[in-house]
Structure 1
Amino acid sequence: MTLLVHVLACAFGLGSWVAVNGLWVELPLIVNTLPEGWELPSYLTVIIQLANLGPLLVTVMHKACPGRLKEHLVIYGILSVGVLSCILLAFFWDKTTIVAGASRSTAFFIITFFLSLVDCTSSVTFLPFMMQLPAKYITTYFIGEGLSGFIPGVVALAQGVGIAKCVNSSQTAGNHTGGSIWSLHTMYLPPNFSTEVFFFFLAAMMCVSLAAFVALKTLPLAFALSTENLVPDTVASISSGLDNPGAETDGECVKCQAEGAAQTSPRPKHSMYQLTFIYFLVVWVNAATNGLLPSVQTYSCMPYGNLAYHLSAALASVANPVACTIAMFFQNRSLVFLGVLTTLGTGFGSYNMAMAAMSPCPLLQGSVAGETIIVLSWLLFTGTLSYVKVMVGVILRDRSHSALVWCGAAAQTGSLVGSVTMFPLVNVYRLFKSGDFCNTECPL
C-alpha cells in the first residue's frame, strides 16, 4: 500500500513542469522551423511569466475566501487543459499567421501560454493537495517533479535534438582569381523522430499525472487514508520528521495516537526572522534555478561544444530527482545548513554566469578540463539548490496548509523576478554573445 501511494505521488508530480521543460529541451529543433528563430526563447520567457496570472488568482482566492477554493477541482481542470494543449501543440506548433506584415507563430504562442498556465498554477495547487497525505509522501512528489524535467530531457537526447557537426564548405572567391575559400560551418543532423511525436509523448506524461491524481483521490478511501485520518497523522508526523510510525496500525489506533500527539507535540514554531529567511531561500533558489541561470545556459555551455551542452542539460535534470531522493533518506532541516548549501549552490551558479558573460571565449575553452568543469558546475548547482527546495518545502509543509500555498507563491515570485531581470540583459542590452563553435577563434 505504501509503495503504491509513493508511486502515485511520484507520477502525480510528473505533471508539474513537464510541458515547459519539454518545450525548452525541444527548442534546438523548433527554432529551425519557426520564423522567430533564436529569438524564440525570449518570447517564451515573457509568455511563461504572463502565465503567473494563474497562481496569482489562486493565491488571492485563498486569501480573500479561505477554505472556499476547491483545489482538487482546480487540479482536475489544469491537468485536463495540459493534456489537450499538448495534443493541439502536436498538430499546430508549426502553423504561422501574418501579424503586422510579418510571419508569426501565433498558434505556438497561444498554446504555450495555456501550457505555462498549467505548470505555473501547479506550484500553488499540487503541494497543498499533498498536504492531505502523510508527510513522507511529499518528498516522493518532489522526485516526480524533478522527473518532469529529466524524462523529457532524456527523450530529447534520444531524439538527437541539436546534435551538430562541423563540415567544410567552399565559396567562390571572385571572377578574377577563380579560386575558392574553404570554411567550416555548423550543420545540424536530422532527429531520430519528429517534433510531433515528442509532443504526443508530453501529452502521455500529462495523462499519467492526471490518472495518478484520480487514484490518489479515490485510493485513500479504500486504504483508510481518508482526510479524517490523514490530518491527525499529519500532526503526529510533525514530531517525527518524515517518518510515520503509526502507519501499520488500524485507523482507530492511528486516530487515538494522533490525538495524544496533538496535545504533546505542537506544530514547529519559527520566529519572524526565521520565516523571513525561509521564504527568502524559496524566492532566491527559484529565481536562480528557474530564471537567472536557464536564460544563459546555452551561452555558458555551447562555447565548449555540443557534447558539453547536452551533458550539462541531461545531468542537471538528473541532479534534481537524485537530490530529492537523498532528501528522503538524509534530512537536515537546520536553517544554518540550508543557508550554507544555498551559498555553495550560488557559487556554482556564479561560475556558470561568469562563463556565459565571457562567451564566446570562456575559460579553458577547447580543453577537456574546461568541459568537465562546466558540466560539473551545472550538475552541482542544480543538485544543491534542489535539495534546499525539498527541505524548505518539508519545513513549510509541517507548519500549515497556508504556508505551502505561500511557498508556491514565493517560488513563482522568484521565478518571475529572475526571468524579468535576465530578459533585458539578454535581449535588449545584448550583454551575452553567442558564437559558432566551428568558426569562433579565441585568443590563447
Structure 2
Amino acid sequence: MSLLTHVLACLFGMGSWVAINGMWVELPLVVTEIPEGWYLPSYLTVLIQMANIGPLFITLMHRFRPGVLDERPVIYCIVGLGIVATFLLAFFWRQTMTIGGSLHSVPLLVLTFLLSVVDCTSSVTFLPFMMRLRPQYLTTYFVGEGLSGLVPALVALTQGVGLVHCQNATLAVVANQTADNATMVGSGELQAIYQPARFSAQVFFVFLSVMMVVSLVAFILLNHHPSVARERKNDLYFSGDLAPGKREQGLSLHAQTPEQKPMISHLESKREAKSSFGKGTYSNLEVVFIFVVLAWVNALTNAILPSVQSYSCLPYGNKAYHLSATMAAVANPVACFIAMFLPIRSLFFMGFLTMFGTGFGAYNMAMAALSPCPLLVHSASGTAVIVLAWILFVLSLSYVKVTIGVILRDEGYSALVWCGAVVQLGSMLGAVSMFPLVSVYGLFRSGDACNTKCPM
C-alpha cells in the first residue's frame, strides 16, 4: 500500500461534507447578523433535503443507463462548484434582498443550496470513484469523511464560535457608607454573553473554500499521479476490453481473496439461493437488512440526534455542550481507524453494534425530551454521562457505516452507488421526521447555559 495514496484518499474524503458541516458550526456567528436569525437552521434543513435532487439524478442514471455516466467529470464539476460557492459565500453571506415586503438573506440561501447539492451528490460519486482503488483505501476515505466534520469544528472552536461566559443580568452599585470602595450587588440572575470571535465568518468561509481546493487537488492526483496508478494497474475496472455489463463482474471477482476464487463454480451452483444483488454473496433478506441498517444509522447520526444535541447537552452547561460536540466529532474518524485495523464484517455483530449505538442515542433523545431538567442535571456525573453517551453513540454507529461501506465495496460498483443513495435517503427521512417536531411544534425546550432552575 502507498502512504501517498492513503493521504490523498483522506484529503479527497474531507471534501465530501466539509462545506455543510462548516456552515452548521458557524451558525452561532452567522445568525446574529442576518434577518432569519435562529430560523436559519430550519431553512438549512429544507435546503439540504431539496438538494437530494442531485443524488436522485445520479442514481437514476446508473439504474436506467448503466455504464453511460462516468463519475469523474461529475466530481470535477461539483467540487469546482463547491470552491466557487464557498468563496462567494465569504463576501455575500450578509447581503439581503427584499421579498414580500421583508428582508431575506437570498445570496446566503442560494449559495447554501448549491453547497448542499455538492455535498449530497458526493455520496453517490465519491464512493463509486473509490472503487477504482484497492479496497484498503475505502476505509481511509471514510476517515477523511469523518474529518470533514472534525476539522471545521476545531477551527470554529479556535475562532471562539458559541463560547459564552455568564455574568449578572442586572447590577446595582451601592455606596458603602463606611468605605471608599463601592460594592457591586447583583440580582442573582445570570445572563449568557457570547464572546467575540477571534476572526470573522468571512475568513472561515475562505478557509472552507481552501479545503475544497485541497480536495480537488487530491482528486486530480488520485487520477494522474504515477504512484497512485500503480495501486490500480491490476484492477479490472480499467480493462478497456471489458464491456460495461462485465465490468462489475470483473470487479467482484478481483475483490475476492485467492482462497475464495476456487469456490466460484461452487457459488454459481448455489446462486439461486442468493440474491441477484452485486455478486450474490448475500441473500435477499440479508441485503435488505444491510440497507435498512444503513438508512437507520444515517438517519440517527446525520439528522435525528444532531437536531436535538443542544437540547440534550445545554442543561448541563455550555462546557458539556461543546465537549460533547467536539468529542463526538473526534469519535467519527477514530471509528474509521478502528475499522481499518480491526474489520469485522459479521452481520450479527453489525446488528448488535447498531442496537448498542441506538441505545445511547435513545438516552440522548430522552435527555433532550426532559430538557431543561434532564437526569443528574446538577451533578458532575450527569455531565460525564451525557458526554460519554454522545461519544459512544457516534463511535459505534460510525463503525457500522464504515463496515457497510466495505461490504458493499466488495459487491461491486453499483452497490456503492446504492450505498450513497441510501445514505441520503436515510438522512432525508430523519430530517423530515424531526423538522416538524423541533421547528413547528416546538416539542423540545432549550436549557440555559447559565441558569438551570430544576429541583435538586
Q: Report if TM-score (shorter chain) is over 0.5.
A: yes
CA distances 1:362-416 after superposition (whole Å, capped 9, x unpaired):
1111321111111111111001000000000111110111111111111100000
Give the aligned residue type for 2:87. I
Are residues 1:209 and 2:227 paired?
no
User: 1:50 and 1:219 mapped to 2: Cα distance?
Assistant: 36
User: 2:343 and 2:329 mapped to 1: Cα distance?
Assistant: 21
Give the aligned residue type for 1:130. M
Q: How does 1:247-326 map to 2 (within 5 A)?
A: 267=279, 269-326=281-338
Structure 1 residue 33, shift from structure 2 partner: 1.5
Aligned to 1:57: 57
Aligned to 2:5: 5
CA distances 1:61-112 after superposition (whole Å, capped 9, x unpaired):
1112111111100000000000111101110111112222222111111000
CA distances 1:297-321 after superposition (whole Å, capped 9, x unpaired):
1111111111111111111111110
User: 1:383 and 1:291 mapped to 2: Cα distance?
Assistant: 16
Output the aligned Cα RMSD: 2.2
User: 1:48 and 1:93 mapped to 2: Cα distance?
Assistant: 17
User: 2:198 and 2:82 mapped to 1: Cα distance?
Assistant: 25
User: 1:58 and 1:270 mapped to 2: Cα distance?
Assistant: 25
User: 1:230 and 1:193 mapped to 2: Cα distance?
Assistant: 49
Distance 1:264 1:239, change over 3 A: farther
State the SS of the aligned residue for 2:98.
strand
Residue from 222, 230, 234 that aligns with 1:224: 230
User: 1:145 and 1:240 mapped to 2: Cα distance?
Assistant: 31
State the SS of the aligned residue for 1:185.
strand
User: 1:414 and 1:360 mapped to 2: Cα distance?
Assistant: 29
Question: Contact 2:2/2:227 (CA < 8 Å) preserved in 1?
Answer: no
User: 1:229 and 1:299 mapped to 2: Cα distance?
Assistant: 49
Aligned residue pair count: 422
User: 1:412 and 1:147 mapped to 2: Cα distance?
Assistant: 19
Give the aligned residue type for 1:372. A
Give the aligned residue type for 2:331. A
State the SS of the aligned residue for 1:187.
strand
Question: Contact 2:2/2:228 (CA < 8 Å) preserved in 1?
Answer: no
Question: Contact 1:85/1:115 (CA < 8 Å) preserved in 2?
Answer: yes
Structure 1 residue 223, shift from structure 2 partner: 3.8
Question: Contact 2:252/2:411 (CA < 8 Å) preserved in 1?
Answer: no
CA distances 1:202-258 after superposition (whole Å, capped 9, x unpaired):
1111111100100111125874345663546873442279xxxxxxxxxxxxxxxx9
State the SS of the aligned residue for 2:170.
strand
Comparing 104-113 with 265-274, greater Cα deviation is found at: 265-274
CA distances 1:128-159 after superposition (whole Å, capped 9, x unpaired):
00001111110000000000011111111111
Residue from 235, 239, 246 that aligns with 2:257: 239
Are residues 1:185 and 2:164 paired?
no
Aligned to 1:251: none
Give the aligned residue type for 1:15. G
User: 1:180 and 1:83 mapped to 2: Cα distance?
Assistant: 50
Give the aligned residue type for 1:202. L
Give the aligned residue type for 2:45. T
Q: TM-score, normalised by structure 2?
A: 0.88
Aligned to 1:255: none
CA distances 1:12-33 after superposition (whole Å, capped 9, x unpaired):
1010000111111111111221
State the SS of the aligned residue for 2:189.
strand
Aligned to 1:18: 18
Q: How does 1:38-437 map to 2 (within 5 A)?
A: 38-170=38-170, 183-219=189-225, 223-226=229-232, 229-231=235-237, 235-239=253-257, 267=279, 269-437=281-449
CA distances 1:248-294 after superposition (whole Å, capped 9, x unpaired):
xxxxxxxxxx9989779984610000000000011000000111101
User: 1:190 and 1:394 mapped to 2: Cα distance?
Assistant: 44
Question: Contact 2:311/2:446 (CA < 8 Å) preserved in 1?
Answer: yes
User: 2:344 and 2:199 mapped to 1: Cα distance?
Assistant: 43
Comparing 100-109 with 156-165, greater Cα deviation is found at: 100-109
Structure 1 residue 39, shift from structure 2 partner: 1.5
Question: Contact 2:317/2:448 (CA < 8 Å) preserved in 1?
Answer: no
User: 2:58 and 2:264 mapped to 1: Cα distance?
Assistant: 30
Distance 1:440 1:368, change over 3 A: closer
Aligned to 2:177: none
User: 2:220 and 2:3 mapped to 1: Cα distance?
Assistant: 17
User: 2:186 and 2:370 mapped to 1: Cα distance?
Assistant: 33
CA distances 1:149-203 after superposition (whole Å, capped 9, x unpaired):
111111111111100011113289xxxxxx9956321100001111111111111
Comparing 193-202 with 33-42, greater Cα deviation is found at: 33-42
Question: Contact 2:168/2:187 (CA < 8 Å) preserved in 1?
Answer: no
User: Which sections of structure 1, spanning at least 5 residues, go unmatched?
Assistant: 173-178, 242-257
Give the aligned residue type for 2:375. L
Runs of 4+ in structure 1 over 6 Å off: 258-266
Question: Contact 2:222/2:228 (CA < 8 Å) preserved in 1?
Answer: no
User: Which sections of structure 2, spanning at least 5 residues, go unmatched?
Assistant: 173-184, 238-249, 269-278
Aligned to 2:34: 34
Aligned to 2:176: none
Aligned to 1:247: none
- Percent identity between the two aligned chains: 56
Question: Contact 1:364/1:370 (CA < 8 Å) preserved in 2?
Answer: yes
Distance 1:229 1:396, change over 3 A: closer
Aligned to 2:274: none
User: 1:95 and 1:227 mapped to 2: Cα distance?
Assistant: 50
Comparing 106-115 with 218-227, greater Cα deviation is found at: 218-227
Give the aligned residue type for 1:235. L
User: 2:210 and 2:258 mapped to 1: Cα distance?
Assistant: 37
Distance 1:189 1:111, change over 3 A: same
